[in-house]
Structure formats: structure tokens, C-alpha cells
Structure 1
Amino acid sequence: MNKTIKMLTTAIPLAAALAAPGAMADVVKVAYIDTMSGAFAPIGQNLFNSYQYNAELANKQKLAGNHTIEFVAFDNKGSPQESLNQLKNVINQGIRYIAQGNGSGVALALVDAINKHNERNPGKEIVYFNNSAIDPDLTNSKCSFWHFRFDANSDMKMEALTTYLAKDQSVKKVYIIGQNYAHGHQFTRAAKEYLARKRPDIEIVGDDLHPIALVKDFSPYVAKIKASGADTVLTGNWGSDLALLIKSGRESDLKANFYTYYAATTGVPTAMGAAGADRVKSVGNWNVNNDTFVGKEIVEGFKKKYKDDFYTTQTHSVVHFLSKAIKESKSTDPVKVAFALEGMKMKGLGGDMEMRKSDHQMQQPIYITTWTKTNKTDVRYDQENTGYGWKTNQKIDSFVASQPTSCQMKRPSAADL
């Protein structure tokens, strides 16, 4: 009799655990597959630290209930092929979530591989959080139920940027320069289309695409920009390609204004210094120098811990949306979490956010900012100890930059839940 009772008491908690796997406290690992070596390594390391820092804060606040979130780095060397190799390592280690953002070419390769893996391996699905790869195709023709983009895509950013630029009647001649890969091509296309629609009087005086992460001296490109008579440069460059372009422009005394997507990323603020003051503008999802300095605690804490700048709000968004999805679905299972993420709304650092169900493209406000000397009023926080930071020119509501989608989402059946 005692033996029977003992067996029953052992079986009850085991049965409960099997019936409700999400009820147990899990460590939810997210594989960060990105550039941890090479020319873009400083940005990759900054993003990884940003993920870790936000996960630590979320875990302390128990945003995912009793579950904890942990990020693990896998170096893809900026290569789509190496990213696929690392994805195999991630799968072999049993990790069910990945994050990536540096390079739309990488993102497109990962989406395709994850789609195939999930189709062939029911019960072992992987969900992909995209923090920065902004090729519009990722939430249009290449959209996937397993992919969620937390950054505004290239067309959304261009809509916001050209809406602001179009009001400046001093802009007469524009030079477009970008990196020769998926994002660079989309940037160039959108710039031409949107300027033609909003300011047909503006002359496009140059259009260059250069090899990504290979150009060490941008002076020949800057010479072409100067010779064109451009008063404004539009560039989707990021990382060392943007830092070196800005540096060369400074050294060549280029007077043109720069409109950028990524001037706040590692290395670029130092390259700009005082020479970029009031001449370089950037578009993003948030700026700490906002009306009420929302996010200042994260900026200050990150700086204290890593001696670096927190500038990618998407890492904060990924952690908070994932935590909420785990809590609301009462599960750490990727399929259930993915369904919970669809249509989810939350107030983020930049304002009201919504993960649009139709294409998994985050809808959020966009900020236009200008590189400016710090002060004690509206530009309190600098970058890279330069004494210069970003002044908020305009907060553009999400509906202004929002774009239609051609996505035809294929979802798992209800039986998979």
C-alpha cells in the first residue's frame, strides 16, 4: 500500500509537468547569429551587449513570468553561407529562437532556411527575430510566419525621411550612394521613387553603389560628389562604410548635408565629430534626446556597464515582445509564442508599437534627428564621448510611414498549437 502511494505521488507532478510544459521555469535561449568579427564586428558586439543588457533587466522584472531569457552569440562573419552553417549549430544545440540584423542578404538566406527546416521538422520549429535587416521584401514577397521584423523597413524609413526632406526648399541637388547588396539597391530605388513623387524639382546628380565592407578610401567617391554640385547626400551605408564615407567627406571639406539611416551606429559619431554638426541627419525608431528622455536609464546603465552607447531600441523591443508573448501564451513553445506575437501591441521606448499580423512588420513612430552639440536642455546625451548628440527634429507617427504589404502569409494549422 505504501509503495503504491509513493508511486502515485511521484507520478502526479510528472504528469502535471507533461501536461503544462510552459508552466515550468525555462531558460529561453536566443541565438544571436551576426557579425562578431571583421569590419562590422563593433556593431555586432554592441547589439549583442544590448540584447544581454535588456534581457537582464527583463529577467529581474520577471516580464516573462518565471522564465528567463538568455542570448548566445554565434559569429556569422557577415556571410550568408556562414550564417547557414551557424544555423545548423544552433539547431543541433536545440535552440529554438534566433536574432539577427546586420545584412539583408543574411536575413533572406536565414528566412529561406528556417522555412524549410520548420516544414520538415514539426515540433522543432524556430522563430526568427529581425532587429535591423530592412529589405522590404522580407515582409512582402519573402514574408514568413516564422520571421518578425522589429525595425522599420527601408521603404518606411525613406517615406519618413523624404517627407521631412521635401519641406526643405534649399535642397536642389541630391547624390545617392550605397552598398552594393540587397539593402543598397532597395535604398536607391526608394530614394528615387519617393523624391520624384514629393519633390520632382530635385535633381538626382549622382547614384553610386560600392562593394560592401571593402572600400578603405572613399575620397574618389567624395570627389565625384563634390564635382556633381550636390547639396545633399542620401546614404543607406552603415558600419565602417558610413564612418569612412563621413570621415572622407570631412577631410575633403565636403559642404553637402547628409541624410542617413545609420549615423548613430558604432564608429560613425567619432568620424563625424564637430564637422558633422548641424549637417548630418538620421532616421530611427527612437532618440534618447526626446521630450521626456524616455530610455535614459537604459542609456546610462548600458554606458556604465559596457563603456559604450545604447542606440538600437529594437533589442529592447525584441526582449519585451518575446517576454509578453511567453507570459500571455503561458508557453515557451515557438509556435505558440509566434501566434501570440501576431497583432501584439505595446508602448516601447519610441512610442506605441504594433506587430502587424498581416506581414509581421513592426508599426512604430519614426524620429528624424540632427547631429548637434550637447546642451543642458534638449540634447543632454552625447555619443562616443564626442560632446555631440542627436537633436529630435520631428517624431513622425507610424501611420505616416506605414506601407502596404503584398505578403500572403502561410500559417501553421490550429492542430499545431
Structure 2
Amino acid sequence: MRTLIGSSALTLALLGATALSALAQDTLKIGYVDPLSGGGASIGQIGMNQLNFIADEINAKGGVNGRKVEIVGYDNQTNPQISLVQVQKAIDEGIQVIVQGNGSSVAVAVSDFVTKYNDRNPGANVVHLNYAAIDPVLTNEKCSYWHFTWDASADIKMEALTNFIKEKEDLKKVYLIAQDYSFGHAVAGAAKRMLTEKRPDVEIVGEEYHPLVKITDFSPYVAKIQASGADTIITGNWGQDLALLIKAAGQAGLDVDWYTFYAGGAGAPTAIKQAGLENRVYQINEGINNQGYGPAEERAGALMQRFSDAPIYYPRMFNMMDMVFKAMVEAGSEDPGDFVPKLEGMKLDSFAAGDEGFMRADDHQFFQPLYISTLGALEEGQKFDEEHTGWGWKMAASVPTESTLLPTKCDMKRP
């Protein structure tokens, strides 16, 4: 009798394991490797929120090729070494799709790791989906078949931004302040190079680099900017490094214009409002709220209602996941070896305004319309403010897709 009971228990256990295995196979797990603690956590959590929202959207429609999508978070603390440990952990858990964005030094490390892993493990491919790391090396010298990026590179953004500011006659003295890692140096280098070409009369009166997401008091840096006599700041800072910089500038009464890549990120709109910098802070990105495009407003509104305590989001993340899911469906497979070729050359009506963008096969850079905007009090008809400030982004200029097409040095090695 004991033997029968033991045998039955074993059978049930085996059946349970089989059911769990089948359940795991029916779930498409996507690994999100970004900061979920430390100085970058506010940015990383917003990305996690949006991915969960997108997963719920697609799951409500039946999933991808019949499989439910699950987002699995891996905290990398904005550290390249920790990131590689987390990517390996995700791979060990059967994940083949890695989403990462914050920190170009992290992205370079992840891209290299994924590429080498695929070389060593043919048929067990992993793909790196990049939504925010924009050091130009990622689509030039360090390009990889297994890496795709949906945010415009630092060179693309700076080309458009300097075309805009070269007409600003009152711009005479520029201060460059950047995070001290590959992306920060790429932004400052591009700004110097392009300003020299387009506005040789402009003087660079300061070039400052500071540790990444480690500074809590930017007042010493602001004092240097004030002493320089600058009338303009150009910065690629993001997350708390931009929010705290603007906060310190407001407290010191720094009277300058700002040109940024990521002033729409977590904490920055609040700092801009508190500093009273209405229509003084410019950003260039792939879309803003209140552009009047109905499908985007409806989708963004649902996201912001669900995550009302953290309403910032990434328009490009919608572009990214919409394209990836489309590629999987067209390939009839969620294996990167099958769906990656479908992404190359794929066209998409971009999320923010419905204008067409495309994934360039040569370097896996997504090209899309870009927009330059400023933050100020909401105007009549505008539905969305930023971080409950009562201020919203207003369009200052638009850059069509064809005007963003910079050449690439990528010499891609294909499997």
C-alpha cells in the first residue's frame, strides 16, 4: 500500500513538473536589464512600467503567436559588470530577448556579451533591444547583428539640435556639462565639432564632466557655469543627473537657456517648473504629449492613468515592441534567429504622430521624425501635463525622418 501511495505521489509530482514545463513554454519571457535600485532607479522603473503595460496590451489580444508575454526585471544598478551577470542569469533562465537602455557603457558591454555568446552557442541566439543608449559607436564601430536601437544616436540628435540653435543670434557662450562616461563624451564632442562648423563665432566657455548618477549636490558645478559667463548650456544628462542639475541652477538663479536630450525624463519636468524655467529648457526626442495624434493620446492616456504616480514614458519603447512583436508574428517564431531578419528594413508608422520610420539594415538604427520642444504652462486644448506640474511640452521644431539620415561606419558581421 505504501508503495502504491508513493508511486501515486511520484506520478503527481511528475505530472506537475510537466505542467509547469508546458506553462513555461507557453510564456514568452523578455528580460529587462536596467537600474531598479540606486541613482538610476526612477528611470529604470518607468521603463519596467511601460513594458508591463505593453505586455498586458498584447496579452489581451491573445499574446504573440499564442504565447503570453511576461516581463522579467533584472536590476543592473547602471553598472556594466553587474549587467553582464544579470544578462547571463536571464539566459540561464531561458530568456532570449534582452531589453536594455540606460547607460551607453552598459549597452556596449551587453551588446559585446550577447554577440560573443551567440558566436559560442549557435542556434541558441539572444538579441539585445536598446531603447535609450545612444553612443554612436553602437551603430558604427561596435555595431552588431544582434543589437538594435530605437533611440536616435547622439550624433543624429546633435546634428538636428545644432541646426536649430545655429539660428539663435543671442547664443554666444556655451557651457558643456556631461556625465563622465562614453555617452557624455560623445555628446560634448559632437556639440563642439558641430558648433565649430555651423557657428564658429560661438565660444565654448566650459567643458565639465562629472561621475554618473553619483552627484547629489550640483551647486559647485552651477557656480562654475555662472562664473564662466555662459548664456547657454548643452547637456546630455539624464535621470537624477539632469533633475538635480536643474534644481541647483534654479536655486542659484542661473539665467541661461538649456538644450538637452532627456529633459522629459523622470524628475526633470518637476525641477524645470520649480526653477521657473518656462520655455527656457529645450529637448530633442521622438515625440511629446499633446501633439494631437489620436491613437498616441489614447494609448498614452491609458498608460498614464495606470501609472499615475510615474506618468513619464518612452514613445520609442512603443515603437520598439510593436516592431519586435510584428517581426515575431511574420516569422512565426519568437527565436531571434528567425525574427531578427524581419526587423531589418521594417517600416513603422511612429507612435508619436504616425509619420513613417524605418529600421536601417546596415547598422540596425531606427530612423524616425524628431521633435524639439520646450516646457511651459498648458495651453488651451492640451490634455497632458508632465509629472502633475501643470506644465506641458510645446513644439518648437520638427525634423522629418529624411533629415536625420547620417551615414554609418558599421561593417556588420552576419551569421
Considering the TM-score relative to the shorter chain, is it more than 0.5? yes
SS in 1 for 2:186: helix
- Letter aligned with residue 365 of structure 1: P
8 Å contact 2:65–2:333 — kept in the other structure?
no
Paired residue for 2:286? 285
Deviation of 1:311 (Å): 2.5
Choose the corresponding residue for 1:393, options 381, 392, 396: 396
For the residues of structure 2 that align with 1:389 and 1:194, how far apart are their CA atoms?
A: 29
SS in 2 for 1:369: strand
8 Å contact 1:55–1:319 — kept in the other structure?
no
For the residues of structure 1 that align with 2:65 and 2:96, how far apart are their CA atoms?
A: 19
Q: How does 1:249-398 map to 2 (within 5 A)?
A: 249-274=249-274, 275-292=276-293, 294-307=295-308, 308-350=310-352, 351-377=355-381, 379-398=382-401
8 Å contact 2:319–2:348 — kept in the other structure?
no
1:149-183 Cα offsets, whole Å, 9 max, x none, are 01101111111111111121111111110000010
For the residues of structure 2 that align with 1:91 and 1:303, how far apart are their CA atoms?
A: 32
1:301-332 Cα offsets, whole Å, 9 max, x none, are 12221112143112111210111101111111
For the residues of structure 2 that align with 1:260 and 1:311, how far apart are their CA atoms?
A: 17
Deviation of 1:65 (Å): 4.2
For the residues of structure 1 that align with 2:93 and 2:222, how far apart are their CA atoms?
A: 47
Deviation of 1:338 (Å): 0.6
Q: How does 1:13-28 map to 2 (within 5 A)?
A: 26-28=26-28
- Letter aligned with residue 151 of structure 1: D
Q: How does 1:7-18 map to 2 (within 5 A)?
A: none
Q: Where does the alignment leave 5 or more consecutive residues of structure 1 unmatched?
A: 1-24, 413-417
Deviation of 1:26 (Å): 4.3
Deviation of 1:52 (Å): 1.1
For the residues of structure 1 that align with 2:92 and 2:243, how far apart are their CA atoms?
A: 37
8 Å contact 1:63–1:323 — kept in the other structure?
no
For the residues of structure 1 that align with 2:130 and 2:293, how far apart are their CA atoms?
A: 28
8 Å contact 2:312–2:387 — kept in the other structure?
no
For the residues of structure 2 that align with 1:283 and 1:300, how far apart are their CA atoms?
A: 22
1:319-354 Cα offsets, whole Å, 9 max, x none, are 101111011111111111111111111102132110
For the residues of structure 2 that align with 1:28 and 1:355, how far apart are their CA atoms?
A: 23
For the residues of structure 1 that align with 2:37 and 2:199, how far apart are their CA atoms?
A: 41
1:277-315 Cα offsets, whole Å, 9 max, x none, are 111111101112214355112222122211121431121
- Letter aligned with residue 312 of structure 1: Y
For the residues of structure 2 that align with 1:220 and 1:240, how far apart are their CA atoms?
A: 16
SS in 1 for 2:371: strand
Paired residue for 2:405? 402
1:201-245 Cα offsets, whole Å, 9 max, x none, are 111111101111121111111111111111110010011110110
8 Å contact 1:58–1:319 — kept in the other structure?
no
Deviation of 1:70 (Å): 2.2
1:40-73 Cα offsets, whole Å, 9 max, x none, are 1011000111111122223324574433332110
**Percent of aligned pairs with the same residue?**
42
- Letter aligned with residue 411 of structure 1: R
SS in 1 for 2:209: strand
For the residues of structure 2 that align with 1:116 and 1:397, how far apart are their CA atoms?
A: 36
Paired residue for 2:155? 155
For the residues of structure 2 that align with 1:383 and 1:128, how far apart are their CA atoms?
A: 30
Paired residue for 1:96? 96
8 Å contact 1:50–1:310 — kept in the other structure?
no
Answering whether residue 80 of structure 2 is matched by residue 76 of structure 1, we say: no
CA RMSD of aligned residues (A): 1.5
For the residues of structure 1 that align with 2:295 and 2:401, how far apart are their CA atoms?
A: 18
Deviation of 1:123 (Å): 1.4
8 Å contact 2:180–2:211 — kept in the other structure?
yes
For the residues of structure 2 that align with 1:236 and 1:222, how far apart are their CA atoms?
A: 16
Deviation of 1:29 (Å): 1.4
The count of residues paired between Structure 1 and Structure 2 equals 388
Higher mean displacement: 76-85 or 303-312 = 303-312
For the residues of structure 1 that align with 2:411 and 2:68, how far apart are their CA atoms?
A: 33
Paired residue for 1:109? 109
Q: Where does the alignment leave 5 or more consecutive residues of structure 2 unmatched?
A: 1-24
Paired residue for 1:7? none
8 Å contact 1:130–1:147 — kept in the other structure?
yes
For the residues of structure 1 that align with 2:313 and 2:91, how far apart are their CA atoms?
A: 30
8 Å contact 2:266–2:312 — kept in the other structure?
no
Paired residue for 1:200? 200
For the residues of structure 2 that align with 1:270 and 1:201, how far apart are their CA atoms?
A: 34
1:73-108 Cα offsets, whole Å, 9 max, x none, are 000111100001111111110110100001001001
For the residues of structure 1 that align with 2:375 and 2:296, how far apart are their CA atoms?
A: 19
8 Å contact 2:136–2:154 — kept in the other structure?
yes
For the residues of structure 2 that align with 1:56 and 1:227, how far apart are their CA atoms?
A: 51
For the residues of structure 2 that align with 1:369 and 1:63, how far apart are their CA atoms?
A: 36
Query: How high is the TM-score relative to the length of structure 1?
Result: 0.90
8 Å contact 1:299–1:310 — kept in the other structure?
no
8 Å contact 1:63–1:327 — kept in the other structure?
no
Paired residue for 1:126? 126
Paired residue for 2:14? none
